Amino acid sequence: MSHARCFTLHGRGRASICLIGDPPDPLWDQEECEGLLLREIPCEEASSLIEFVEENVFRVKSPILVLIGNKYMLARESCRLRAFTVEAKQLFLTVREGEELEEGSTVGYWRSSKGVIRRVRSPLSGTLFLILWDPTARPQRYTFLVDTEGEVVKGCLEKKSTS
């Protein structure tokens, strides 16, 4: 469902990213790494890497890197993200990971049981870090994780090697 790719320390995928330094200098497709080696996971599984702190606030338990094209966002361990959830029978998203949200801005539309199209607005301002989709939920459930404090590191990933 997501257009993003997700990476973490505990990923099982073949694709990998090596993070070296602070701020990180990511390297694509590394088998060995002197820094943190992150492997790809389905973004739907990223929910296991965050924990509830208080109402609409989550803490990252293990680093999560979200890759959109060649741009990345990195939420380090202990990073706090705000969240809001939307449930609808049919939801049509108009935003993607990495976009800036303003409070009251449109994030999507949903169709009511009577066929009326309604607008879904963001209650938060900040960078949309990740949209978590629960494929088993009925109605559909989307949780929007938003960096409201500027804690997420952003950058551009170059395809280069360590050698």
DSSP per position, 79-97:
-EEEEEEEEESSEEE---T
Residue 101 lies in a domain: yes
Residue 163 lies in a domain: no
Residue 161 lies in a domain: no
Q: How many domains does the chain divide into?
A: 1
Residue 162 lies in a domain: no
What is the per-residue pLDDT across 98-127, written as a single tens digit (0 to 9) for each? 999 999 999 999 988 888 999 999 999 999
**CATH value at residue 64:** 2.40.50.100
Residue 61 lies in a domain: yes
How far is residue 112's CA from residue 92's CA, in Å, rounded to a whole number? 12
Range of 82's domain? 5-156
pLDDT at 162 over 50: no
Residue 139 lies in a domain: yes
pTM, two decimal places: 0.87
The reported pLDDT for the residue numbered 161 is: 47
The reported pLDDT for the residue numbered 30 is: 67
Residue 84 lies in a domain: yes
Higher pLDDT, 63 or 24: 63
Which residue bears the tokens 């170059």? 158
